[in-house]
Structure 1
């Protein structure tokens, strides 16, 4: 099982300078390797898609890839000796990032979805570097030893669980300081907890008025952190707009604006974690709708959907359930609000109608509660099908 723990670090002035220099040098190398890819692509692409039976095809230039770009790092340290101040494995992560970014643009990811054209990183936009190998004894007594940087003080707000090994360490610069993210691994953690009860299931219908309505009747009001902070964000953004570009006053105003945005994001994330804990402490199985959140975020409700953070909540719920040996079942969302949870009759109603009244069985209840019960029923059927298939496979 893989989990991540993030801690805030307190580097001294010399260490801050080293971290910032490392990030800036990695940014320059990232842009250089990306430009090599673009040059090769432009020199070898051709607008002609057909030709005669006899024609001359020019020899293609050597295509930049992860391996030859990684090999060029040895020559880089000779031509630019200051790159020796960066750990070799940290520097080798840059060609890997370029490879992934460029392939997602041309080929797409594992699902075939292609990303937009990669962009060069401007100053301050390269914010993370990673040590792909890390020994556990280098993190001890509230200090972490980072190669080429030194011993850095760590604010350990929670201890690493017993039995976990540190696989990778990432250093990130954020608006309010510097952080390290430890990727932990423990293969002995069971996938399903011993006293797992498949009948202890709940369905939740996420929304914008209520963050979610559960099939047991409980509901949590949407906190709307972004809406509440809009006034402060607007004032901070106005200060940025009034400052002269390139000035120190503008840089400080941007810093304050970034801190405000981070505060909203952190508060929302904390709310998601606490909400997930409440659900998983009470239930062994949680059924949710398999919504196309990216598609919904392109509608007129995009601001409210992003403020609610449905995607982040669903990811946290899935990860925490997996770590606890519990289950999250994603069900088909079609008709959950229209179908009657008692008799199954389809009752068409607009989004503005918040009550469900069935003309067949005369069931009357909240529209969201009706949807949550339907989600629970579909989740129960889906879980039974999964358990049956797993038994047959064994």
Structure 2
């Protein structure tokens, strides 16, 4: 079993400077290695190295940069730039790994075949995390953690590491309000949680913008609209940034203040998602949700409200918590859940502004979102039976 715990660091002023310098040097190396790969792609678009005319000979193809060749070049880097010796060797070796992952997701796609965007060069302050891929448990004692090349740093331990878990990796992250350390913990003696749920205890949920979600049992959670409520403060903070002179200390302070407000907003939304997911899983064993194309939805005029709701983050949290509890989340086809009558399956076309579902066939009348939630539950029940039959 593998879990992650995050703690806040309290470095001294000197240690904070070391962390900042480390992040900036890693950023420069990240950009250099990305540039190497882009250059290779530009110069080696075709495998043909010559044309039919002898006088038109093309240069030989260069070796394609990969993770291991770029890691091997780090030895020469430390000779040419001695200040890179101040970074732990394994931390520096994680940079080519990060570059390769970014390029593979762009060119090949992930395990599901979904491709990410083109890797970007990182501006100053945009490289925020470095990783120690190996770590000894004895280097984390009480409220102190020993980080190689940085020293012994104080940690705010708000919860203890479970007995029997070993620290596999350590990630140091700089956020708007300070520095954090994330410990990846593993205990091989703890077996993976097997699904153990009651297939009859199922609920369908329809996420929306007026109500964050409506369940098939007609329970509603009003959308908190965190961004809308914080909009005035964010606009004021953003205005102060735009009015400050670029490069000045006042602008840096204004940017830091704006970043803290954005972080507070994101943390508040995430906390709401966790609590909502827990409330659902405490009551139900199986939750059916729509398999929404959120990337497509955020290209509409409702993009701001959809991003504020954070449906994607909520469904991810709900799925992870369900898996850890041995419960089930089923994603169903979203087509027609609002148009189809939950009582007789008759298609009732209606615009988004029409909030009631009135079926001319069976005369049933109920809230549009409740109708959709019942349809989602019915589809989830059907898909669950199909999965059980096939397994």
Query: Shared fold (TM-score greater than 0.5)?
Result: yes
Q: 3-state SS of the aligned residue for 2:362?
A: coil
Q: Which runs of 5+ in 2 are unaligned?
A: none
Residue 235 in 1 paired to residue 228 in 2?
no
Q: 1:28 matched to which residue of 2?
A: 28
Q: Deviations over 1:354-388 (max 9, x none)?
A: 11112222211111011111111111111111122
Distance in 1 of aligned mates of 2:85 and 2:240? 40
Q: 2:116 matched to which residue of 1?
A: 115
Pick closer, same or farther for the CA change 1:57–1:108 going to 2, 3 Å.
Answer: farther
Q: Which moved more, 1:290-299 or 1:144-153?
A: 144-153
Tell me how far 1:57 sits from its aligned partner: 5.6
Q: 3-state SS of the aligned residue for 1:8?
A: strand
Distance in 2 of aligned mates of 1:362 and 1:160? 58
Q: 3-state SS of the aligned residue for 1:61?
A: coil
Q: 3-state SS of the aligned residue for 2:351?
A: coil
Is the Cα contact below 8 Å between 2:78 and 2:84 reproduced in 1? yes
Q: Deviations over 1:329-357 (max 9, x none)?
A: 10111111111111211111111111111
Distance in 1 of aligned mates of 2:27 and 2:53? 46
Is the Cα contact below 8 Å between 2:195 and 2:328 reproduced in 1? no
Distance in 1 of aligned mates of 2:265 and 2:204? 28
Q: Deviations over 1:261-300 (max 9, x none)?
A: 1111010000001101101111111110000011101111
Q: Which moved more, 1:24-33 or 1:35-44?
A: 35-44
Q: 3-state SS of the aligned residue for 1:171?
A: strand
Q: 3-state SS of the aligned residue for 1:356?
A: strand
Is the Cα contact below 8 Å between 1:10 and 1:178 reproduced in 2? yes
Q: Which moved more, 1:29-38 or 1:277-286?
A: 29-38
For residues 130-149 of structure 1, what are the structure 2 equivalents within 5 Å? 130-149=131-150
Tell me how far 1:50 sits from its aligned partner: 11
Distance in 1 of aligned mates of 2:235 and 2:67? 43
Tell me how far 1:23 sits from its aligned partner: 0.4
Q: 3-state SS of the aligned residue for 1:154?
A: strand
Distance in 1 of aligned mates of 2:361 and 2:329? 32
Q: 1:161 matched to which residue of 2?
A: 162
Tell me how far 1:47 sits from its aligned partner: 12
Is the Cα contact below 8 Å between 1:287 and 1:330 reproduced in 2? yes
Distance in 2 of aligned mates of 1:53 and 1:348? 66
Distance in 2 of aligned mates of 1:63 and 1:141? 47
Q: Deviations over 1:80-126 (max 9, x none)?
A: 22212111111000011111223333333334444333222211111
Q: 3-state SS of the aligned residue for 2:213?
A: strand
User: Aligned to 2:193, which of 183, 187, 191?
Assistant: 191
Q: 3-state SS of the aligned residue for 2:18?
A: helix
Q: 2:7 matched to which residue of 1?
A: 7
- Number of equivalenced pairs: 389
Pick closer, same or farther for the CA change 1:333–1:50 going to 2, 3 Å.
Answer: farther
Distance in 2 of aligned mates of 1:278 and 1:161? 25
For residues 179-328 of structure 1, what are the structure 2 equivalents within 5 Å? 179-187=180-188, 188-192=190-194, 194=196, 196-328=197-329
Distance in 2 of aligned mates of 1:136 and 1:324? 27
Distance in 2 of aligned mates of 1:158 and 1:380? 39
Is the Cα contact below 8 Å between 1:130 and 1:170 reproduced in 2? yes
Is the Cα contact below 8 Å between 1:331 and 1:379 reproduced in 2? yes
Distance in 2 of aligned mates of 1:351 and 1:335? 12
Is the Cα contact below 8 Å between 1:190 and 1:325 reproduced in 2? no
For residues 166-181 of structure 1, what are the structure 2 equivalents within 5 Å? 166-181=167-182
Pick closer, same or farther for the CA change 1:95–1:190 going to 2, 3 Å.
Answer: closer
Pick closer, same or farther for the CA change 1:49–1:308 going to 2, 3 Å.
Answer: farther
Distance in 2 of aligned mates of 1:190 and 1:182? 20
Tell me how far 1:193 sits from its aligned partner: 5.3
